[in-house]
A and B are shown apart, each in its own frame.
Chain A
Amino acid sequence: MKIHLENVVKTFESFRAVKGVSLDIESGELVALLGPSGSGKTTILRMVAGLEYADGGAIYFGDQDATDIPVRDRGVGFVFQHYALFPHMTVADNIAFGMKVSKVKRDKAAIDQRVTDLLRLVRLEGLGDRFPAQISGGQRQRVALARALAVDPKVLLLDEPFGALDANVRRDLRRWLREIHSELGITTLFVTHDQEEALDLADRVVILKDGQIVQQGTPEEVCRDPKSAFVMKFLGDANVIAADVRDGRAHAGGLSVEAAGVAEGRAELYARPSDIDWSEQGPGIAAEITRVLDRADGRRVLATTGAGEALEFDVEPERVVKAGETGFVTLRRAKVFGV
């Protein structure tokens, strides 16, 4: 089912949570709404679900205007951050709930069969008669997903689905959700504030800020070509170096970087830690190492430039560096944004 949002607006008591968002989600696509807290991403998801009504604009499911269809009849599967499993029902009863209350009558044998199938899909065979309090957080979220899928939703909506879980479980569930999505091909929209999660999981990432879309595209597009300093910073660690733009190039220290389309004058260079090289001799931007951090996958160096800018970059684990050393940084690649 294709979803189309047209200039959707939502205001909470004088606070504009969503300021005119238009978005297309293709049938079968897995899309992430990514943004910091307060960016309106959860509100958008809840409006698509019908848990919140839009104050303006329209939401289409396929060709049908779904803006005013109540959540009960909208045919969406919603997965909550804190699972929202019914604590007084067993896992099997939780999954069966939607089929039991449905206007489409199913006989008991059919419901039982479907519950068994779904338990197998979410790899929880044999846990059907446990209560939610008796299973782990990751298992609960899988039950919540099975429960949402049980009613054959046209669209699957997930609100920070892995937010309450620890890092390892999160990573496993992410891969697993991707598999389930490939298997079922159901149009899926999920909300997260975790860039890694969004980039790992989604076909397309929609980045939000203050109730508006600032950029959208495949993980590759948004990572390789961030259109603003906000997106650059939000997607990962970024070093900021003051620069001057003259004749289409940005100059900083002894370096200059291609800066087509950036207005002449003051600007900022943005570089990822992995895009910075360190050398004892120039040319480059002079800097002094302040601290060396050793990590499982490499060695991270913290340094300060002559102008007082804090830098973070990676060197090979074998490289001998220590605090107090001075040297020069060069940029393998960088983005330039005007200020």
Chain B
Amino acid sequence: MSNLSTRRKPPRVGDAPLFRRSLIGIVLVLVAFVIVAPLVIIGVEAFSKGWQLYRDTVVHPDTLHAVMLTVLAALIAVPVNTVFGIAAAWAITKFDFWGKRFLLVVIEIPFSVSPIVAGVAYLFVYGLQGLFGPWLDAHDIKILFAVPGIIIASMFVTAPFVARELIPLMQAQGRDLEEASTSLGASGWRTFFAVTLPNVKWALLYGVILCNARVMGEFGAVSVVSGNIRGQTNTLPLHIELLYHDYNATGAFAAASILALIAVFTIIAKVALERQGAGRVRKQANPAEKTS
């Protein structure tokens, strides 16, 4: 029994120095090659032929048009999917109805289906040989190879983002708060804006940011339905591909740097929001901070 107390404590899982160092090493190497290197290359290559060429590529009408189109797609798809996401999350977490589980699965589909499959499916629905194609053509409505197609495809791909952020949180919060609010005499809208929304706002903003990042970066589905018409139906990711196929690597990298910049701003916004969210929670939990 006596040597039990003198014996070293058994190592915890992963406590061995060799194990720890190799695990950290693997992660650092992977991050360097898979994430950091490509991002650095974008910056280096974009300016490899000088500032002038970079500037020329960025202010080229085709590039500017691609940026505008990408922003337009985001301006429409993000608000629509935000409203959809809130409605879906609210319905699923606050009500019981027939087909609720099915709805949950359907919301997940855009996550599991390859975007290019979605694109092809849209071809069969709205294309000339497709389901509504002839009717749309007869009425002179252009969806495919035009801006509406790009927006619809973007919306499909990003539909789950907001709902996915909200559903677990709202499920954890339960219905008590809404029931309390209603029993105190508040209307449904009042309950939503005064009680539900303030308690999910950080998750909601986070979902919106992710949704926005994905809309702006979406390639596969949009590539199928847009038709890739330079200066007309080219979004920024598609424009990068076109430049690359034109053997204009520098131009492609210059355009890519715009997307990368948007991504960096997105991450900064996300971190800032998380900080603010965390700060608010801390302030609530610590009375001293408030009274001082």
Which A residues have a C-beta under 8 Å from some C-beta of B? Answer: 49-51, 71-74, 76-78, 80, 82, 84-88, 97-98, 101-103, 129-131, 133-134, 147-148, 150-151
Contact = CB atoms under 8 A, between A and B. Distances in A.
Contacts of B177: 84, 86
Nearest to B288: A134
Interface stretch (B111-119, B194-202, B236-244): B194-202
A86 B195 contact: yes
Given A86-B195, A133-B284, A133-B285, A101 B180 contact: no
Interface in B180-205: 180-187, 190, 194-195, 198-199
Contact of B186 (A80, A97, A148): A97
B180 A84 contact: yes
23 contacts: A72-B183, A72-B187, A76-B183, A77-B183, A78-B179, A78-B180, A80-B180, A84-B180, A85-B180, A86-B199, A88-B198, A97-B181, A97-B184, A97-B186, A98-B184, A101-B184, A101-B194, A103-B185, A130-B287, A131-B284, A133-B284, A134-B290, A148-B183
Interface of B: 176-177, 179-187, 190, 194-195, 198-199, 284-287, 290
Given A76-B183, A103-B185, 19 more contacts: A51-B179, A71-B179, A71-B183, A72-B183, A78-B179, A84-B177, A84-B180, A86-B177, A86-B195, A86-B199, A88-B198, A88-B199, A102-B185, A131-B284, A134-B284, A134-B286, A148-B184, A151-B184, A151-B185
A101 B190 CA distance: 8
Contacts of B285: 133-134
A118 to B, nearest CB: 13
B198 A147 contact: no
Contacts of A76: 183
Given A101-B194, A147-B184, A87 B179 contact: no
Contacts of A85: 180
A98 B284 contact: no
A72 to B, nearest CB: 5
Nearest to A157: B183
B164 to A, nearest CB: 23
A50 B180 CA distance: 12
A83 to B, nearest CB: 8
Contacts of B190: 101
A37 B208 CA distance: 42
Nearest to A134: B287
B186 to A, nearest CB: 4
A72 B287 contact: no
B25 to A, nearest CB: 41
B199 A87 contact: yes
Given A84-B177, A86-B195, A101-B190, A78 B185 contact: no
Given A72-B186, A72-B187, A102-B185, A80 B287 contact: no
Contacts of B287: 130, 134
Nearest to A74: B183
Contact of B183 (A49, A88, A102, A129): A49
Instruction: Identify the 5 closest CB pairs spanning chains A and B, nearest first.
Output: A98-B184, A84-B176, A101-B186, A84-B180, A78-B183
A297 B209 CA distance: 63
A74 B179 CA distance: 13
Contacts of B290: 129-130, 134
A77 B185 CA distance: 10
Contacts of A84: 176-177, 179-180
B176 A82 contact: yes
A150 B183 CA distance: 12
B179 A80 contact: yes
B172 to A, nearest CB: 13
B185 A101 contact: yes
Contacts of A97: 181, 184, 186, 194
Nearest to A88: B198
B262 to A, nearest CB: 31
Contacts of B195: 86
